[in-house]
Structure 1
């Protein structure tokens, strides 16, 4: 076991130089569990962690790329680039940060003068490392091009990539003056480089270059290795350089990896012997034609590419996508999958489906499946797998939670970087399992910003969009996508603002050779083309690539796009693919109503289900849903109505969703009720696998109307009353106006804009007859055969409305708003249009967003419509109670996990217009200060009358209706 001191002696360093280098510290005792750790020790620890990651975490595809660009030395080169990241700590600006640690450094002859006290002028060690390395790389590698893409990997390891102009310190003293500093800094780089296996720095020169997206993914893996090696509980500090060696670091890294329970995904995934075994044998489905088509296309792709699967609602697209993901991963050496869903509500059932799928490869892999959204602790499967070994609240943490339950600055543990960047110190919870190897999931992945790094993940699409924003630590998020197959379900659900981030993500994923599968039942042709062009722009590292997508032969269909030998290719299904069920005539009728009392809709429901039946009501506003519910209660529907909307607290929403799926899902058996009404907002629009006999829906854009119709007569074999033998839709939320021009609900206009609603009204009128004819039913639509044609008409150029409706003027307003929203997104996109051809990460974060929390990031990718969550608490004479009545103490204190869960079950998302008042007026209860799940949660305290004043409004929470807001 050759120590680092022995390496220095072999290299011919003087005793004086050895003494100086051996005093440089990397972790201070004050912030490293009470023991200092020398700089070279931390560099070797990080390199050793990287070596373990190479063996047990990196995908085969990434290992191949690193072998290519390093001339067959991929493992050692990966160790080197991960470990060299902190070489910039060998400068006065860092060494002076702790007086106790600085004393022996100065005593050894590494001195400095006065350093700037202003934090804004402080010389950061990540930038200092790049400033130290860059001139040496240019000189010793003899290649400015190689140096140009490597130095940003060092400069950006704390979350942001500076420009080359930023590599000059404002105070030269901060970088170090004189021969002693120059010798020590050179020695740190050379000694570390020799210790990991290169003869000298010149030997570490890469023979090739990663493209920019690959650099971003690699940068995230460097951060991951650094964070693991910075865990003081896993890596005890060493203060004697004679005890530091690569062999010792390897032992420490192996032990830490075992204790943390870390692992990757599939590893070497075998290529299926039968082309459709991933469907028939693993997913246990009798493959439908559309599912076979998607898997067949995955087999035929000559290179990683984009696949766009369009098929009717209920066709089985997600299972086909998982089967295709297995094929793509096996063929191209990928190690996991991320499935992106439009909402938290749609993520939960998908998580359980992916869990079952992953278990079919290896039962223990279930511990590598993450659920990424802020309410996951209310998912029973998640809690059983990820929280079963918790010993108390101190061990709780959550990855990328929108509710910001963790310290937003807690990114990797107790290190000097915290203090350097103005971050509060992090105190370990001391709750790591004492056994040598964990038998459960790696809790490390639950840390802030780490969720996507798990091998398999299901979560909201926001996590994908966050990886396309110019925000701090974006590289860590992108690393979680790099080496996976990415599946994006309900891709049409992204509005024009969110779509800019989706397109940006596709560009980066295309360049990183990440296969992507997009799923939709109602995708406008223009969006399909835009997705293809974005992915190919990335794959070809060129701006504004356009490759015309052939018109699909039918519906369902699959479009594939890839780059081969520098040429873009886009093809669609060459032959019509039959749907699994024949198209069914769906009768469409009007139910004109824009009143706020819900009375007309309740009366229609009462009439329709007099003889039994299941009705799904989908409306565009929470208050409208609440009004309909109240009107039904007055008509004697107690116990027969479920109300679902976004202003229910977490526990109520989860319970009601589960109940709807149990009673109305694919296999309800004898439990399907004789009479039931589900009243929902847009939550029921997609990936809500229930089967209704009748749909009553507010008018919405045609693609969304079709999605809602997808919940109608969804499952074969469902027993129905004779009155509902054919699917039927009543369209409401609209009324006749002057000259027959429709009038819309104000909420609908605010959400969708008038132009899309006018066109939807015109297309519905084609099927249902004129709006002023009441509930007269016309020929209706044939579903799913009419779906692609209706969507194409709705978003086409030709006018579809009667001339006196003023469609042209409405379109102009809509286009202006859409263009402005696109422009609004540009300032947050990871790359500006003019920079797409840039070959390195240098300057990537120039003028980037300072969003820190998940709430901030949500505002970035969701058009700034910031909303705030609060925990409903009821005040009582003796103290506080949770929303369900659980006692939580005089000051809100809780002492067991059951109470915490019940308390957090009262979390509710407030309307965006109340966000400002909530941020100003709501705070945690005093008793929450020491609890990691509660210390940042805002309490909405309801008085004896069950209400509270928030801003100018009075708000309350009703156990049935949810959050009720009375405008002030």
Structure 2
């Protein structure tokens, strides 16, 4: 009946997960292969910037790249011709090959595809085309396409364990017919060029991202309906299916995805994005005036808090977009809270960078973005006008190998992975760092960054490990032609040169000499420079100020100060270094006479997400830029580092625990941040603040010359777990206490280099020198671990690029930060004898309510409380996990008798609340 059709038409590529689903039971492998190739064909349109840039980087013509790579994409699923794979869903149809039970599916089909190419197809193919080339010259292309499920294929397999004679013949016939469709008029001798081979490896990361994206979109059944059984008689050949079905369907899928480059609005002025700006700051004027290059470039903008760094950065972004060097932007921040704040700010401006007829997408990218109602409501505005049928699920191949469409459904809703493909993304730095770690789908993230300006805020806020990863990210971004803008209040010279060196390494160039003068601040740096590499700028007069420093050497003095200032109607914040310290101080302040309970707030990281959101919003309302006398009067905030970065907060009185100097300066930026009258009401820009000279109260011991290892123990217990270098803390205290004030910006560079400079170690007391040496050694080890964990970009998209670590695993197992193990614990209430989410929000899906109920606990805290869960609830917890897939990877803590004291909505997690 079907002996006259090619053998490759007897293999399924997609199979329905549920037989009851409407439509055909399966989709032919040959057709699915062309579906994916069709997406690649459109993504690599020779007229598109993506194709032009890649072709130029590799050293080939755009049309050649489109034809050759789409031929390779059509081979992405060669591993499914394996009888071992076909055995997974046997007896789908009499038209398909028969099962062969003795062949076990012991390896993923992506690796099997690479195997059959390397061991069965490569040499005959080279011989057929008389290409004088080694087999390895083709290897990068096939690693890229067969690694379409987010990680490269593995090697070392035996062909005959997975493919029988009939399978091999089908594979050969399929490749020959695909070749006829794509390669009839291109010069294949290019493949024997060794220099091309090297460049392909170097830029294989973007090609891998295209392969992942093409497979994701090409697996969407809303556009690529199943063709099975007699269906293959509708088409005379692969060419017929390609023109009549694959390409039109691909056009529809790509259009609906809305990931194509948008038309940019010509840049005219800074007021285009920020109409509220009446007079630009000096840093913003630099962003308007600096001569830009069409080549990848790095900007480092250093200025005090309130100097308009964000607006300056986005002005540069818009100018770079208008110049044609990028299509979008990703803004990376240190925390989810800071990302939320930036998302709200950017939502008012980002569309003005694009033509009015465009609908550019704005994505919030971090682990809790699904809980932002503002973001979730925005998603609906990007749904295509065309109503399409819902995506149905494909058959999963095995437990650890979802089909592309099954993963696609989750992935589309997972903004963390989608974010870097959006036109504009705002999120944590972690989402960008995953692009250079051996994390599943990292190539898709890297592809998303390739035509973006990467803006990284609060660069000084990252530890040695993240700094090491950041250097690799900058190298990767420069390598693939992207620009970077780094923002910071101040950068230590060693950090500034390290980041600049990494970027220039990605360009294959040498870094020019940078200066380290103490008066060289505020500073704008452009590398490579068109005119001037370093440009000193002035600070706008409203934020240039003298900050007085007052020493508080006991907790009682702090409490007395808070009580006095509240009586005067002032708003007060005490920034503590640990959660336990913040909680203790919250209790102590609550006992003070004159402190009203409704005007006392505790803000730290150990809250369930729903409570943290409530407290964050409350904090922004009470202390934010629009707060008034009525809201601010007598308010007290006990907080940890969550208020340290990027939140636009303003306190009349600021008390801080001793911390490294850069963080103290950052905290000081929340003191008299806005211009206000003596009661706390906002004044117009240009007027003088009426609250008196800003005073930073430093809670710290004296910086005595005979300080020993117990120097901080009594006053700031556990501080060494947060800031382990006691020498740096001593230097910070000395610099802040030796004079009663400091001037910003004049003293900024002196203060930073006075703690982080290479020549200050000799000033540290002997009693702290051993600790400081060990802390510096630990930082070097952390940097070494970062470079060990990061991908070796030179080796290209291959398993060999991750040989130094555990390898390409899911995101949750790839560390972007070094920290102790934590658990996401969902709190549960008991309602009518059943466990229900702690977060009760009828406007949210139940799965979201469970996620909003989560609090992150340290390993020790969870292990302690887990043992105390009453046995009668343990069985219900297991049943609940089976019933609700969203709970599969969460721990569940029932707030029942004996455990109620573990959590309080206003205080958060209480590790001592377990009734043992």
Q: Given the alignment, which residue of 815, 834, 856 partners 2:776?
A: 815
Distance 1:219 1:120 in 2: 17
2:789 match: secondary structure: coil
1:587 aligns with 2:548: yes
1:959 aligns with 2:912: no
1:792 maps to which residue?
A: 753
Q: Given the alignment, which residue of 226, 247, 254 partners 1:237?
A: 226
Residues 48, 246 of structure 1: 8 Å contact kept = yes
When normalised by structure 1's length, the TM-score is 0.81
Moved more, 418-427 or 955-964: 418-427
Q: Given the alignment, which residue of 449, 462, 476 partners 1:481?
A: 449
Distance 1:663 1:195 in 2: 66
Q: 1:765-790, CA deviations, whole angstroms, 9 ceiling, x for partnerless residues?
A: 222xxxxxxxxxx2x11122211221
Distance 1:896 1:657 in 2: 20
Residues 361, 424 of structure 2: 8 Å contact kept = yes
1:80 maps to which residue?
A: 71
1:19 aligns with 2:6: yes
2:522 maps to which residue?
A: 556
Distance 2:30 2:398 in 1: 20
Instruction: Return closer, same or farther for 1:47/1:876 CA change in 2, 3 Å cut-off.
Output: closer
Deviation at 1:130, TM superposition (A): 5.1
1:875 aligns with 2:830: yes
1:748 maps to which residue?
A: 719
Distance 2:782 2:856 in 1: 24
Q: Given the alignment, which residue of 445, 449, 469 partners 1:501?
A: 469
Residues 17, 184 of structure 1: 8 Å contact kept = no
Distance 2:837 2:86 in 1: 49
Instruction: Return closer, same or farther for 1:946/1:149 CA change in 2, 3 Å cut-off.
Output: closer
1:36 aligns with 2:5: no
2:499 maps to which residue?
A: 531
Residues 306, 673 of structure 2: 8 Å contact kept = yes
Deviation at 1:149, TM superposition (A): 3.1
1:300 maps to which residue?
A: 292
Instruction: Return closer, same or farther for 1:758/1:90 CA change in 2, 3 Å cut-off.
Output: same
Instruction: Return closer, same or farther for 1:300/1:446 CA change in 2, 3 Å cut-off.
Output: same
Residues 35, 236 of structure 1: 8 Å contact kept = no
Residues 61, 332 of structure 1: 8 Å contact kept = no
2:314 maps to which residue?
A: 322
1:246 aligns with 2:212: no
Distance 1:908 1:181 in 2: 51
1:763 aligns with 2:735: yes
Distance 2:531 2:781 in 1: 30
Gaps of at least 5 residues in structure 2 are: 236-240, 681-688
1:702 aligns with 2:661: yes
2:828 match: secondary structure: strand
2:773 match: secondary structure: helix
Distance 2:137 2:109 in 1: 30
Q: Given the alignment, which residue of 849, 856, 868 partners 1:909?
A: 856
Distance 1:160 1:846 in 2: 13
1:371 aligns with 2:371: no
Instruction: Return closer, same or farther for 1:363/1:711 CA change in 2, 3 Å cut-off.
Output: farther
Q: Given the alignment, which residue of 675, 678, 681 partners 2:634?
A: 675
Residues 411, 417 of structure 2: 8 Å contact kept = no
Distance 2:489 2:296 in 1: 23
Q: 1:671-728, CA deviations, whole angstroms, 9 ceiling, x for partnerless residues?
A: 5422211211001111011111121001000011111001111112454479941111
2:174 maps to which residue?
A: 188
Distance 2:610 2:218 in 1: 38
1:941 aligns with 2:910: no
1:255 aligns with 2:246: no
Matches within 5 A, 1:337-486: 337-360=329-352, 361=354, 368-386=361-379, 414-415=393-394, 418-419=396-397, 422-423=400-401, 444=412, 446=414, 449-486=417-454
Distance 1:679 1:317 in 2: 28
Residues 614, 693 of structure 1: 8 Å contact kept = yes
Instruction: Return closer, same or farther for 1:645/1:130 CA change in 2, 3 Å cut-off.
Output: farther
Deviation at 1:78, TM superposition (A): 4.7
1:725 aligns with 2:725: no
Instruction: Return closer, same or farther for 1:388/1:935 CA change in 2, 3 Å cut-off.
Output: farther
1:849 maps to which residue?
A: 806
1:684 aligns with 2:652: no
Deviation at 1:603, TM superposition (A): 2.5
Moved more, 726-735 or 446-455: 446-455
RMSD: 3.8
Distance 1:444 1:364 in 2: 24
Gaps of at least 5 residues in structure 1 are: 1-14, 398-411, 433-441, 564-568, 768-777, 887-894, 948-954
Deviation at 1:136, TM superposition (A): 5.3
Deviation at 1:375, TM superposition (A): 2.0
Moved more, 502-511 or 925-934: 925-934
Q: 1:368-404, CA deviations, whole angstroms, 9 ceiling, x for partnerless residues?
A: 11111122233232021126899xxxx9x9xxxxxxx
Residues 608, 854 of structure 2: 8 Å contact kept = yes
2:565 maps to which residue?
A: 608
Instruction: Return closer, same or farther for 1:925/1:547 CA change in 2, 3 Å cut-off.
Output: farther
Distance 2:111 2:798 in 1: 20
Instruction: Return closer, same or farther for 1:878/1:95 CA change in 2, 3 Å cut-off.
Output: closer
Instruction: Return closer, same or farther for 1:106/1:269 CA change in 2, 3 Å cut-off.
Output: same
Q: Given the alignment, which residue of 271, 279, 289 partners 1:280?
A: 271
Distance 1:852 1:668 in 2: 46
Residues 362, 424 of structure 2: 8 Å contact kept = yes
Residues 706, 767 of structure 2: 8 Å contact kept = no
Deviation at 1:198, TM superposition (A): 3.9
1:219 maps to which residue?
A: 208
Distance 1:186 1:224 in 2: 26
Deviation at 1:813, TM superposition (A): 1.5
1:45 match: secondary structure: helix
Q: 1:889-920, CA deviations, whole angstroms, 9 ceiling, x for partnerless residues?
A: xxxxxx97366555543321113433556789
1:514 maps to which residue?
A: 482
Moved more, 205-214 or 723-732: 205-214
1:22 match: secondary structure: helix
Distance 1:206 1:48 in 2: 26
2:162 maps to which residue?
A: 174
Distance 2:456 2:722 in 1: 23
1:408 maps to which residue?
A: none
When normalised by structure 2's length, the TM-score is 0.85
Distance 2:513 2:419 in 1: 36
Moved more, 913-922 or 641-650: 913-922
Deviation at 1:238, TM superposition (A): 1.1
Instruction: Return closer, same or farther for 1:664/1:282 CA change in 2, 3 Å cut-off.
Output: same
Deviation at 1:50, TM superposition (A): 2.4
Deviation at 1:808, TM superposition (A): 3.1
Instruction: Return closer, same or farther for 1:571/1:940 CA change in 2, 3 Å cut-off.
Output: farther
1:634 aligns with 2:591: yes
